[in-house]
Amino acid sequence: MRAILIALTLILAAAGGYAFKEFAGAQDTPDTAVINQAIGQYLKDHPEEVLAAARMAQNNAQQNQEAAVQLALEQQANQIYNNPADPVIGNPDGDVTVVEFFDYRCPYCKQVTASLAELVKSDPNVRVVFKEFPILSPESLIAARIALAAQKQGKYEAVHMLFMSHKGSFEEAALLELAASVGADPQKLQGDMQDPAIMGQLQANASLAHTLGISGTPGFLFGKQLVPGAISFEEMKAKVSSARAQAG
């Protein structure tokens, strides 16, 4: 949107110059209303210039964003793909890494959970890195902290899947009870979820998301390809195949 506004500003500047040129000879100080009228008429007579400038600005903005993402993927590759604090499922030595930024309160994240699990099950060479990105509510943050605390007990995957399928209360007591139902120690969870390292990890995830231009959930990386939003199982398989081919 910013790029479009810049393009329109340039068009208006050009139209203003045209109007001033047209009317400057008519009087020493061209009337503002007359110039505005001329600008309006110019834009009305040349809509194709506005559209062309807007398209060009959009294309430039998209190219700049893609370049910024690729630079971030190169400069922060270890933080993105190989942070030892991040939960990982699938083959830890897989030849394709899928990174998901997600929020437990996000309905679209819940929607893709089964597809992602099926992808791991159907492809033994896929590695999935989870980036907790709790942006939707205070309860999202509580859920993320409990899930990462469960990782200390080797219960992350079980708690993650349970939270993703949960449709009830996301208050802390309810989530601790849910985690306990899959074998996590709720008292230990309460202590571990206060670990400053967990908040540091969540802040690092948020910073990475910002750098990559991920502003909503879910946000995926299939290898080095950024894929915003929910996609189907078949689309996931295609993205993995593409990432595998590019890596090969």
> What's the pTM?
0.75
Q: Are the beta carbons of 8 and 54 closer than 8 angstroms?
A: yes
Residue 228 host element (H or E): strand 225-228
**Can you list the domains of the chain with their CATH numbers?**
2-75 (no CATH), 87-247 (3.40.30.10)
Per-residue pLDDT at 73: 83
- Supply 235's token pair: 């689309």
Q: Could you give the residue ranges of the DSSP H alpha helices within the chain?
A: 2-24, 32-45, 47-75, 77-81, 107-122, 138-151, 156-165, 172-181, 186-192, 196-212, 233-247
| pLDDT band at 20; cut points 50, 70, 90 | very low
User: Is 87 within 8 Å of 160 (Cβ atoms)?
Assistant: yes
Residue 95 has pLDDT above 50, yes or no: yes
pLDDT tier at 55, thresholds 50, 70, 90: confident
Q: Each residue of 24-52: pLDDT tens digit?
A: 444 455 567 766 777 777 777 777 776 77
100 CB-contact burial (10 Å; exposed 0-12 / middle 13-18 / buried 19+): buried
Residue of higher predicted confidence among 235 and 18: 235
For the stretch 214-246, pLDDT in tens is 999 999 999 999 999 999 999 999 999 999 998
Q: What is the per-residue pLDDT for 78?
A: 92
19 pLDDT higher than 60: no
Reply yes or no on whether the pLDDT at 209 is more than 70.
yes
What local confidence, expressed as pLDDT, does residue 52 receive?
74
* Residue 160 backbone class (left: φ over 0; alpha: ψ -120 to 50; beta: rest): alpha
Handedness of CA 167, 173, 179, 181 (dihedral sign): negative
How many other C-beta atoms lie within 10 A of the C-beta of residue 105? 21
119-174 tens-digit pLDDT? 999 999 999 999 999 999 999 999 999 999 999 999 999 999 999 999 999 999 99
Confidence (pLDDT) at 71:
80
Residue 32: closest CA among 46, 19, 18: 19
* DSSP SS3 for 225: strand
User: Nearest to residue 73, comparing CAs of 231, 243, 236?
Assistant: 243
pLDDT > 90? residue 195: yes
